[in-house]
Amino acid sequence: MAENVANRDEALKCLDIARRAMNSNDLAKAEKFARKAKQLYNSSDVDNLLRKIEEAQGSGPSVSSTPNADQRNSSGASTTKPSPSGQPESHRHHTTSQHHGSADSGTPEQRQLVQTILKAKDFYEILGVAKTATDDDIKRAYKKLALKLHPDKCKAKGSEDAFKAVSKSFSCLSDADKRAYYDRTGYESSTAAVAAQQAQQAGRRTAYADEVDPEEIFNMFFGGGFGPGARVFRTNFGGPRQRRPTANPNENGRNGFSGLLQFLPIIFIILFTFFQNQQQPYYSLQKDGTFRTPLKTAALDAPYYVRSHEEFISKYPAHTSSRMRLERQIESSYGEFLEAECQEERLRRHRIWTTNGREAANNFKAVNCEAYDRYQELAKEKYPPMSSAGIWF
């Protein structure tokens, strides 16, 4: 996998935008952001979503330009969240099946359960337990839901996403430290909290979920004043006024120039943001043709690769504050990578248990989960919970 795992957070944002676009039957936008996510950080979730988008695009009548058709088909196109229940579930499924055949073969109870999980607002609501629930309550709730939602058993659309949500909720609430942090902050780790804070500090570029390209930011500044689809970088700001009949062309020209000067600071911000996004990363968690030189962070021995040791040292000298900040970012990204790999192993173990039984599942070695547990313990030792140097606890 040659993709830079450091871009994983941005890829997840693009994937979320793509899913919500598909939920709204905006397949063009869904495909656009799904492919951006694939370029940033490829995963099975991205590939699955792209496949579903292609299937929806090939179904023809299922994507209608009329609002009623969009509402009727939204449950068939959604991959993460069910469509708003503007009509009874059974009727929506029947209408969808006319366009998509028997793609959703789940029972009404399964579809309702998936819908409930995907609409839940927090981990406790996902598992259906109170915030005062004991560890045993959480374990029982997880087992009950995991059996019902396992993709090999539950054929309702969105079951895999619901299953992953249940697994993530259990992973957080079954860990005393993570649960305490979640109860205090609403985030499962300080990594998630930092990501949200960075999104706010980044200003307009990351203030909304849909503002990936500069044109959309520009439309936000002007409230869509240039009209849908306007290419603002190709627009002559004084042009519309000059085309109108006027008795004083020179005055019109001055007004147009003044208008351009007024927007120069905004243009500068947009261009700065655009070119900043084009900068090449200085490291990668995966070795490839560009990043070949291996290094490790000082505190947690998190492995990463750089293009050139000399170039990297000149940019981030050892024992400097900039190097320490970068290494904490690397350690956080590596921890998230291990957590994602561990989640995949848990899914595989569930599938083995379903098809081959408990003994086969117990014999499955979750090496990434073991590595993730060791990494967590080391992080707790090096970065005590809630300390100023803490990374993700």
DSSP calls for 49-84: HHHHHHHHHHTSTTS-SSHHHHHHHHHHH-SSSPPP
Largest CA distance in the chain: 89
Give the highest mean pLDDT range of 232-236, 332-336, 347-351. 332-336
Report the pLDDT value the prediction gives residue 39, as an integer from 0 to 100. Answer: 82
pLDDT reading at 244 higher than 60: no
Q: What's the burial of 23, exposed, middle or buried (CB within 10 Å: 0-12/13-18/19+)? A: buried
Residue 166 parent element (H or E): helix 159-173
* For range 62-83, the mean pLDDT: 40
Compare 238 and 108 and report the one with higher pLDDT. Answer: 108
DSSP calls for 363-387: H---HHHHHHHHHHHHHHHHS-TT-
**Domain segments of the chain: what residues?**
1-104, 214-277, 293-382
E-state strands within the chain: 293-296, 303-306
**pLDDT (tens digit per residue) in 116-148:** 999 998 999 999 999 999 988 998 898 889 888
Report the pLDDT value the prediction gives residue 88, as an integer from 0 to 100. Answer: 38
pLDDT reading at 254 higher than 80: no
CA distance 7 to 256: 41
**pLDDT (tens digit per residue) in 196-205:** 555 555 544 4
